[in-house]
Chain A
Amino acid sequence: MAQVHFSSNQRRLTGGVAQVEVDAATVRELLRKLEEMFPGIGAHLDRTSATAVAIDGDIIPDPMYEAVPADAEVHFITPLAGG
C-alpha cells in the first residue's frame, strides 16, 4: 500500500485528511482511487502542468504512467523550475 501525503492546499480537498494508504500500481490508478475517495481531487492533481509527484523522494514531472512501488511514499508537489 502506498502512503499518500497531502499538503495543506490539498487537504482542503480531502476534508483535512493528511495521509491515506492506497493500493495502486501506477500514478494514474492512484489518481483514480483518490478521486473515488475525495471527489474533485483527481482534477486538481491531474493537471500535469500544475503537479509533479515525489515517489520515495524522487521528484517526477508529468508522472501519469509512473509505477508506484508497494509501500512507496507519495507526495504531490509543485513542478520545479530552475535557472
Chain B
Amino acid sequence: MRYVAPASVAEVVALLAGDPDARVFAGATDLVPQMRAGRPEPSVAIDLKRISRLTDVSLTDGTWRIGAAAPTADLTANAALAADLPGLVYAGGLIGSDQIQNRASLGGNLCNASPAADSVPSLVVNDAQAVVAGSGGERTVPVIDIPTGPGRTSLQPGEFVVEFLIDRPPPSTSDAYLRLIPRTEMDIAIVGAAARVSLDGDGNCSAAAIALAAVAPTVVLVPAAAEALIGHPADDDALAAVAAAAAEAASPIDDKRGTIAYRRQVAGVLAKRAVLEAAGRAGNGGGR
C-alpha cells in the first residue's frame, strides 16, 4: 500500500482515474478495522484531509458547505451550524468516541454505506446535496441517491464526494436525530431516526421529513410519516401516526444487533420522539 496526501481535488481525481484499487479516506475509522478484519488493502490510500475544500465548513449565500472529510468534531464545535442544523450536528457527535469524532467525517460515514450510519438520515431529511468529483468533472447528487446497499454506493469508479451542500433551514424549522444503542456510547445504531419539521403560525406542521437508519439496506425516507404530520400539530394522534408509518416503512433484518420485531417497534418510537424534539425546537423558532 502507498499513502498519498494530495493538496487538490484534481490530484485526487487523477490518482483515482489511474488505479481502480486506490481508495480515498478521511478518518480511516472504517477502513482500518476493515483492513484488520482481512479486507484487502487498497493499492493507494489517498488522504483527503490536506485539501482545505474537503475539511472546511462554511456558510455562503444561505447554504452550508461541509467538507466531506471535515471531522465531525468540527461540526460539533461550530455553534452557527449547530444552531441551524442541530439534529445533523448531534448525529455527527454520536459517531464513536471523541477520538473517533476527531477523524470521522460525513463523507466517510456516507460512502462506507453502512445502513446504520448515524449522520445519513439527518443529511437526507435536510435534503443535503453531495458534490461528487470524478474524471468527468463535478456533479451534484442528492445524498439519498448515493447509498445503494450495504457497502455499496452509486458513485462511479474514480468518483469521490468533495463536500455537502445544505440550504439553511427556513424559520420555524428544525431537525433532530435519535438512535437506539444498548450502551450510551461506542455502539452501532440498532435503529436511528431523523426528523425535520417546519411549523406554521398556528403550530401545525407545514413541512416534514422523516428518515430511518438500520432498518433497511439503505437509509429510508418515510413520506407517509411526513404526510401524517403535515397540517397537524405534533400531538399524540399525529405522533402515533408517525410511529405507525415509520414502523411500517421499516424492513429490517435479524442480526447480532437486533431483531426484526424490535427494530420495527423502535423505529416507530424513535421517529415519534425525533419529530417531537424537532417540532419543539421549531416552535422556538428553529435556529433563527
> Is A–B contact present in the complex under a CB 8 A cutoff?
no
Query: Hey, which bits of chain A sit against chain B, CB under 8 A?
Result: none
